[in-house]
Amino acid sequence: MDVLRNQYELIQRTRESLFRYCETFSPTDYVKEVETLGGVSIRSLHAHVADCYRVWLGSRALGKSLPKIKPESVDNVQEMREVFKKTDVLVDEFLGDFKNKWDPSVQAPWQSDSVELTELWLFTHTITHEFHHRGQMLKMGRQLGYIPPKMNLAKPK
């Protein structure tokens, strides 16, 4: 059993429930900046989450040169789904390249220092970051008048 791949599948299925929720928003509400959470939009948080995967797994771990995702380049939820399809490919590549490397194996810049990070740390950081912002997106949606359905982690198949 490939535990991290199985875990990421749960995350993808859980992410789908957030996408379905976001699809109930008007197009203007998806991109509307919500002042109570620092003037960001749900779209910009979605882009930020995808960027976290790109920076930590793509750039720092895999050494790829990846451009930043600009929220304004994504017009709607369907386009954000496409961004995350590319993210899924990147995560798959990362999990394949770093499979079972539990010892520190990635030298990564962090703030003004450099640290050695493991596959597990890198993966855990990106998925917990996604769930942190997922909660913010749900709160923002609620503030915009969209009551979210139950948003628990997807059940195993």
Q: Please say whether the beta carbons of 129 and 22 come within 8 A.
A: no
Domain range enclosing 100: 3-143
What is the pLDDT, as a whole number, of residue 142?
94
The CATH number that applies at residue 99 is 1.20.120.450
pTM of the model as a whole: 0.90
| pLDDT for res 108 | 67
CA distance 119 to 46: 23
The pLDDT score that the predictor gives to residue 112 is 66
The answer to the question of residue 135 being in a domain is yes
pLDDT along the chain (157 residues), means of 10: 88 95 96 88 97 93 92 96 98 89 66 74 94 94 92 80
* Buried-state track 22-43, b at ≥16 Cβ within 10 A, e below 16: beebeeebbbbebeeeeebbbb
Note the pLDDT of residue 135. 93
**Residue in 66, 75, 83 with CA at minimum distance from that of residue 43:** 75
For the chain, what is the domain count? 1
What is the DSSP secondary structure assignment for residue 108, as one 8-state letter?
E
